[in-house]
Structure 1
Amino acid sequence: MAPRPAYDPGPTISHAGGVNIGTPDLEKSLWFFRDIFGMEVTAEDDGAAYLRGYQEHVHHSLVLTRQDEAKVNTMSLRVSRPQDVELFHDQFVEDGIDVRHVTAGAEVGRGEAIRFLLPGGEHPIELFYDIERPTAPEGIRSKLHGNSSRRRGLGVQRIDHLNVQAAPEMMAEAEGWLRSALGMKRREAMVLPGNPDVPMVSWLSVNSKMHDIAIGASMNGKNSQFHHVAFSLENLHDVLTAVDKLRDLDIQIDAGPGKHGIGQAMYLYVRDPGSNYRVELYSGGYPFVDPDHPTQVWEQQDFGYGMTWYGDFPDVDPDSSTYLETMDVAGLDVDAPSDSVITA
């Protein structure tokens, strides 16, 4: 029997790779993520610090960059194969998307990447594959081979997902592009009556996770907005321990602790005191293992259960809520304002 020809699925995404947050107070942000969250600093270079959780073997998932304006410089996704970076580049150029090459080492420890703005949403995204896998210093090295270092602080394991928002009129294009061009699957969604094909919020992943990225319609009507980055903790009790410690340190808490009905994970939303950007501590949830798992659709009458299954419901009053606030992102060129470049 003749061998079957090899099947090539084309370029694909593997998982959420990281985030680069510009912070006016790098020392305070470092204190927060390194000393309180327990993340390992793998490198410091020219006003930037690179960090990872204790179960991340790659060089980093978080970059903190000293700059005057707090904003997200980059949200990154790792592709599945080395050639996928260039294959995605060619695909995007053919589609009329403005793409930048990012040289190896632009982020310490990371290889070449491409940078573009999410069509419709205008969020800066970088795709990469090559990244170093440094060994932790002996003083914090773990005897558990699955850990890159010992568990410290609040015990952040790894990056879990990114959460962004787009202007309501851009949601269909942005969310649809993530599915059609990057192959993401809509795991769960909130929809309004009469318009089920354009979700208010969509949770998307390319693996068994609930989401690598979530995108929602911004309540303030602004485009290219950032809501939060999430890092995972081992168990639900860790979230309760975290809120106890963070309250004692006067860290701003926007919502939680509680359990989402959507995804069924425990959540706690807090602010990095150096940049004032929102971070979620996230634990639990359920995996998507069936290839034909249908999208779980939440209609308006069940939104409350979806947002919070138990715990205090987040304040959603626009006049008083800190949970609803969104944050700025960079443009196609890192130094450009987020509204200065529009793609495709």
Structure 2
Amino acid sequence: MTQSRDYDPGPRIAHAGSISIGTPNLERSLWFFRDLLGMEVVSQADGVAYLRGYQELAHHSLVLTQQAESKINGYSFRVQRPEDVELFHQQLTAAEIESIELPAGHETGRGTAIRFLVPGSEHPFELYYDIDKPVAPADLRSKLPSNSSRRRGFGVRRLDHLNVQCSPSTVNGAEQWLQDALGFKRREFAMIPQFPETLMASWLSVTPQVHDIAIGVNGEEKNGAFHHVAFNIENYHDILRAADEIRDLDIDYGHGPGKHGIGQAMYLYIHDPGSGARIELYSGGYHIFDPDWQAIEWKIPELQYGQTWYGEALDVGPGGAFLSTTPSAGLK
């Protein structure tokens, strides 16, 4: 059977595009992301800096804003087609979900976007299509045309995924909405052992990655909670080098290095000293190409291997340091 040329799958998300972090100490955050992690500052003015990894051709994947409170100002996703921004806006309006239009240039280098709060989780999502692809300055440019700049610092290649949390009473509905309304596919998941009807965490993607976003339960029943953003680096060796060098620096070391069973990537969690936001350096992992992929459920006793396959175990017990989060901004 041939597919009609008129077939339209509807609006779709292409990938996780950027995260916007509010920091009380912009210069300290810039040192961390630019000088230590090796990201390129594409633009900076009026207390706002835009950065990208060395394999990102788009204008930015990270926005840093000088402000009084550490807060995640927005989570942005690029859509597949220019018209998908308006089509998603129409769907949100039909579902009586408030959204606001952000004009072109609201973020430097980015076109028109829409902003809304995810029902249930209350995270501020932004959807856009148009974004500039500037050429790096000559002194940073790589000879590889697939790289936006030379590899520097710890070698952040690109934004990999986002990890957010919300309350036990809303996590199931929020995760289902991400699937139904935005087209994310559940790849791996775990239920709370003591409350098997409630999600502990779900890893979802629209790309072949295991997750472009993960959503989990917040033990303090907070909505709009941010756990971490992961930046992809090339090799396991780079993770070990970062762990070794960070020990000599005055920043919060976090957890790791180790390897997750879920997603099967090597990790190192550290904290931006300007904002306190948790950052994961992430390398490896597997990709999903099966169109009929069945989500993998992690249960006790195997769940311990999902969190940490080898390396330092994550401190996920009651009151554990690994469970601390950063708040997110509201709709406006």
TM-score (norm 1): 0.94
Q: Which amino acid aligns with 2:13?
A: I
Aligned AA for 2:292? D
Q: Which residue of 2 aligns with 1:251?
A: 251
Q: Do the aligned residues in 2 keep the contact of 1:192 with 1:199 (CA within 8 Å)?
A: yes
Corresponding residue of 1:340: none
Give 5+ residue unaligned stretches, structure 1.
334-344
Please list, as runs of the form range in 1=range in 2, the aligned pairs for 1:202-281 lying within 5 A after superposition.
Answer: 202-281=202-281
Q: Following the alignment from structure 2 to structure 1, what is the Cα–Cα distance between the partners of residues 254 and 32? A: 16
1:191–1:300 Cα contact (<8 Å) kept: no
In 1, the alpha carbon distance for the partners of 2:197 and 2:189 equals 10
User: Residues 193 and 31 from structure 1, CA distance in 2 versus in 1: closer, same or farther, beyond 3 angstroms?
Assistant: closer
Alpha-carbon distance in structure 1 between the residues aligned to 2:221 and 2:330 = 18
Preserved contact between residue 52 and residue 60 of structure 1 (Cα < 8 Å): yes
1:194 to 1:276, Cα distance in 2 relative to 1, 3 A: closer
* 1:31-110 correspondence runs (5 A): 31-110=31-110
Q: State the shift of 1:198 in Å.
A: 4.1
Aligned residue in 1 for 2:325:
326
- Matched with 2:283 is 283
Moved more, 4-13 or 71-80: 4-13
Match of 1:25 in 2: 25
2: CA distance between counterparts of 1:286 and 1:160?
A: 13
State the one-letter code of the partner of 1:150. Answer: R
| Identical residues among aligned pairs (%) | 59
**How many angstroms apart in 2 are the aligned matches of 1:95 and 1:315?**
39
Q: Give 1:209's aligned amino acid.
A: Q
CA–CA separation in structure 2 for the residues paired with 1:73 and 1:14: 21
1:23 corresponds to which letter in structure 2?
A: T
Moved more, 321-330 or 7-16: 321-330
Tell me how far 1:4 sits from its aligned partner.
3.6
Paired with 1:70 and 1:250, the residues of 2 have a C-alpha distance of 19
* Structure 1 residue 146: Cα displacement: 1.1
1:126 aligns with 2:126: yes
Q: How far has the Cα of 1:156 moved from its partner?
A: 0.1
- 1:110 CA drift (Å): 0.3
The CA distance in 1 between the partners of 2:3 and 2:251, in whole Å, is 60
Distance across 1 between alignment mates of 2:84 and 2:3: 25
* Deviation for aligned residue 1:317: 3.7
**Cross-structure match for 2:310:** 310
Q: Contact (CA 8 Å) 2:168, 2:198: kept in 1 or not?
A: no
What secondary structure, in the 3-state scheme, does the structure 1 residue paired with 2:242 have? Answer: helix
- Deviation readout 1:43-96 (Å, 9 max, x if unpaired): 012110000000000000000000001100000011000000000000000001
Between the aligned partners of 2:10 and 2:145, the Cα distance in structure 1 is 33
Point out 4+ residue stretches in structure 1 off by more than 6 angstroms: none
Q: Residues 255 and 323 of structure 1 are in contact (CA less than 8 Å); yes or no, is this contact kept in structure 2?
A: yes
Alignment of 1:286-305 (within 5 A): 286-305=286-305
